[in-house]
Amino acid sequence: MNFKVTPNNLTRLEKIFSEIKYELRFEKGTFNSGYCVLEHKKVVVINKFLNLEGRINSLLDILSTMQLDDTLLTPESLKLYKQIVENRNALQAAEAAEEVAEAEAAAAEAVKTAEAAQASTEAEKSPSDSTSEEENPSPAQPSEN
């Protein structure tokens, strides 16, 4: 979803949180992800030093992981929330497909490596077998003593 970084969109996201009865705070703190969610107290704390883009991305991350009661949202907020969730689902599907493709490529590479190792082993055995026959003269050959 192309979510433009504008103060109006930040206000729209903040409105969703107020409609679902979450208190949204912008405070300083040491947050690894830029935010903290206290589920039982219905409080979301966002790092106040984040720029507009960081605040919007933090709120999008939080909303995409929450299960909301649709009846609490206005039609406009509900539409925005559904877009956020659909985008998250599409992103997860794309990531899963990418992981599957990477796993298939790794498996194909492993098969090639195993085949190459097997061919190398067979090639090493063949010359040594033929040289051992040449080194040991057959009993039918007379010796020159």
The answer to whether position 20 is within a domain reads: yes
In a domain, 36, yes or no: yes
Is 138 within the bounds of a domain?
Answer: no
Specify if 145 maps to a domain: no
* Cα Rg of the chain (Å, integer): 33
Q: Tens digits of per-residue pLDDT, 51-101?
A: 999 999 999 988 888 888 888 999 999 999 888 888 887 877 888 888 888
**Is 120 part of any domain?**
yes
Q: SS3 sequence, the chain? A: CCCCCCHHHHHHHHHHHHHCCCEEEEECCCCCCCEEEECCCCEEEEECCCCHHHHHHHHHHHHHHCCCCHHHCCHHHHHHHHHHHHHHHHHHHHHHHHHHHHHHHHHHHHHHHHHHHHHHHHHHHHHHHHHHHHHCCCCCCCCCC
Q: What is the pLDDT of residue 74?
A: 93
Residue 70 belongs to domain spanning:
1-128
The per-residue pLDDT for 88 is 80
Within-domain flag for 1:
yes
Query: Residue 57 burial (CB < 10 Å; 0-12/13-18/19+)?
Result: middle
CA 77 to centroid of chain Cα atoms: 28
Tokens at 7, concatenated: 């103060």
Residue 133 scores a pLDDT above 60: no
The number of folded domains in the chain is 1
Whether 65 maps to a domain, the answer reads yes
Sign of CA dihedral 65, 66, 68, 73: negative
Residue 99 maps to a domain: yes
Per-residue pLDDT reduced to its tens digit, 13-37: 999 999 999 999 998 877 777 788 8
Instruction: Report the pLDDT averaged over residues 136-142.
Output: 59
